[in-house]
Amino acid sequence: MTAAHEVPVRGLLRVGVGRPVDLSAIDTRATPGLPPLAVTGPDRKSWAREQVRQLGRDLAEQQEMLYAQAVAGSGTGRRLLLVLQAMDCGGKDGAVRRVAGAMDPLGLHIRAFGPPTAEELDHHFLWRIRRALPPAGYVGVFNRSHYEDVLVVRVDSLAPEEVWRPRYDEINAFESELIDDGFVVIKVFLHISYDEQRERLLSRLTDPTKHWKYHPGDVDARAKWPDYQAAYAEALSRCASERAPWHVVPADRKWYRDWALAHLLREHFVELDLAYPPARFDLGFERARLLAGDGAGPSKVNVG
């Protein structure tokens, strides 16, 4: 377990329950929770990157214990679900690559959601979400999520208000049901500024290895920035609960974003107090059985 930094960051990033959210009041370049020495030092970026590497090893071990418990049948359905939301260029992909990428890909269950398709719009908005939930023992990552149904659906009027308005309550009920089923739900909004989005879009237009990430529709969506911020503010405010709080991670600085996300994950893992499960079989008996059959080696191999 990394001892490098023990101040919990989740409390610093958590949105107040039952209160309005003012995103414009949250500095997208802030670094809440970063140790003071790291903040003032000249090398805080490389320091944070190294911290993320160390935390990654912790996360991989925690993930293995979570998975092991599920395999051993002692996990009581526990699993993590990281719900990642952000404006375009907010850094969801990069955060997944660097933070979830430190874990074992066999234990990750990553699903991405865009604006609902025609087929998806013909179903209840949680239909596609339920199909994508991680099994017990896994770390699920939703790259966008059910929140799209009160974000892009609202801003682009993909459904009328009488359809999307009741969804805040439905989302709260849904997440509560997940938690009853053993889910740890970690909701994170990666918060970038309007200026930072422009810089990142420009770099996608400048760097030939990034052209594929650019879509002309991104500029159209950017024109609706205030509408999106308002939709986010309402979603975060209406769907922040004690059991499934929202966290706002200032994300203009990628190294801080990754550092904060790795800490958030680790703090939630630690709370589960995981351990490798004990054997559910007689170790001595199995060892004897394994060695007993082996005196003569395998019978001759019959090549087909």
- Applying CB under 8 A, among 3, 37, 118, 290 the residue interacting with a second copy is 290
Asked whether 63 and 107 are in contact (CB, 8 A), the reply is yes
Rounded to whole angstroms, how far apart are CA atoms 246 and 299? 60
- For a second copy, what does the binding mask look like between residues 135 and 174, x meaning CB under 8 A? ------x-x-------------------------------
Asked whether 1 and 58 are in contact (CB, 8 A), the reply is yes
CB of 42 to a second copy, least distance (A): 27
Residue 115 near a second copy by CB under 8 A? no
Nearer to a second copy, 117 or 209 (CB): 209
Provide CB contacts within 8 A for 15, sequence distance 6+: 21, 236, 237, 240, 245, 246, 247, 248
Nearer to a second copy, 93 or 170 (CB): 93
- Applying CB under 8 A, among 7, 71, 173, 270 the residue interacting with a second copy is 71
Residue 231 near a second copy by CB under 8 A? yes
Residue 208 near a second copy by CB under 8 A? yes
Residue 17 near a second copy by CB under 8 A? no
User: Nearest to residue 167, comparing CAs of 183, 188, 187, 146?
Assistant: 146
Opening angle at CA 184, ends 183 and 186, nearest 5: 130
Asked whether 228 and 151 are in contact (CB, 8 A), the reply is yes
Query: Alpha-carbon torsion 248, 254, 256, 259, what sign?
Result: positive
Phi/psi of residue 90, each to 5°?
-70, -15
Residue 22 near a second copy by CB under 8 A? yes
Residue 201 near a second copy by CB under 8 A? yes
Q: Which residues bind a second copy (CB under 8 A)?
A: 20-24, 68-69, 71-72, 93, 96-97, 100-101, 104-106, 108, 110, 112, 141, 143, 194, 198, 201-202, 205, 208-209, 211-214, 216, 219, 222-223, 225-227, 229-231, 233-234, 237, 276-279, 281, 283, 286-287, 289-291, 293-294, 297-304
